[in-house]
Structure 1
Amino acid sequence: MIPAPQLPTSFTIRLLTRADAALYREIRLEALAAHPEAFSSTFAREQEKPLAWFEERLTTSDVFGAFTEQELLGVAGFRRQEGAKTEHKAVLWGMYVRPQARKSGAGKLLIDAIVAHAAKHVEQLQLAVISENEAALRLYTAAGFVEYGREVKALKQGGRYFDEILMALFFGGSGR
């Protein structure tokens, strides 16, 4: 029998900085290549971007990383909406956990970090997830997100359409 791979048992979750841009670029490109249907951007678009573009992205959004020692195994982004009428909302975006860290708790820890961060800054945290990603839907639902809509044919990849489930988490009893 082949032994099952060992899942990481402990993670450090922290905000990524410009100094993490190379690690972030690597995991972001991996996510786009492995799951092109799940992201609105594409591998082809981002692989051509210089490292400075990824550094800038880490300064305009709050991106959290899940680390074991020096290895970045997962990421999730937080971006507050701009404008007087929408600044009470933010978006959770770019969530990805490497295959070797799935089912290890890394995704939950990333979501928990984003939710705790968001609760200090906004009244509502939104996300969009493709309807076929059942594991992500379970993770978000367990974290308290509720579905508020569906965008039919939201993304098109390889000639195939994917619906997105729109979800939100409300803070401070501001659920409606």
Structure 2
Amino acid sequence: MQTISVRVLDVPDWALYRAVRLAALADAPTAFASTLARELAFPEDRWRERLAGRNQFVAEDGGEVCGLIGVVPADPGVAELVSLWVRPAARGRGVGDLLVREVLRWARDHDVPTVRLWVAEGNEPAERLYTRHDFQRTGTVQPVRAGADALEFAMTRSVRVDEAG
């Protein structure tokens, strides 16, 4: 195993972002609020806009992308952790933990005191990951996407300024 590193994607990285996001949607179609078919139709400018409007990070192992996560400013004082995915071959190696810590570091560095996320019901590995990082269920539940029977629940976590990143 190489040393896993995390970096932010910039707008010129749109094709890499597209490839990884589509791989995530293909691998875990019930875990996301979007669908592979929907995002396959996105033109280049839509991918570029997404990278301009959020902080999207990738984890890399030996130059190969092994994970993805994003953080989007939401309500005042709240950021949403979005689009976490770890390539199946990289699961169980701490990639998810590394990516979550990056989002928490971003929130701390940008003085955002609360991070919120949504987890599809039945996705126990994701819930365990978030619980390890002190996220707690809020009691709010909603459909994963319009017209879907699957539900997702909200989790939040406070970010402390004195917290180590």
TM-score, scaled relative to structure 1: 0.84
Alpha carbon RMSD of aligned pairs, Å?
A: 1.8
For residues 6-60 of structure 1, give each alpha carbon's deviation from its aligned partner in whole angstroms, at most 9, with x where no partner exists: xx44211011112221111111011112211111111111101122321221110
Is there any run of 5+ residues in structure 1 with no aligned partner, and where? Answer: 1-7
Partner of 1:139: 129
Residue 109 of structure 1 pairs with residue 102 of structure 2: no
Report matched runs for 1:154-173 at 5 Å. 154-155=143-144, 161-172=149-160
Q: Which has the larger radius of gyration?
A: 1
Report % sequence identity: 36
For residues 90-125 of structure 1, give each alpha carbon's deviation from its aligned partner in whole angstroms, at most 9, with x where no partner exists: 100011111011101111100000011112221100
* Equivalent pair of 1:9/1:104 in contact (CA under 8 Å): no
Residue 55 of structure 1 pairs with residue 45 of structure 2: no
* Equivalent pair of 2:34/2:145 in contact (CA under 8 Å): no
Partner of 1:23: 16
Runs of 4+ with >6 A deviation: none
Report matched runs for 1:77-96 at 5 Å. 77-81=70-74, 86-96=75-85
Partner of 1:119: 108
In 2, Cα distance between equivalents of 1:169 and 1:107: 16
In 1, Cα distance between equivalents of 2:123 and 2:13: 28
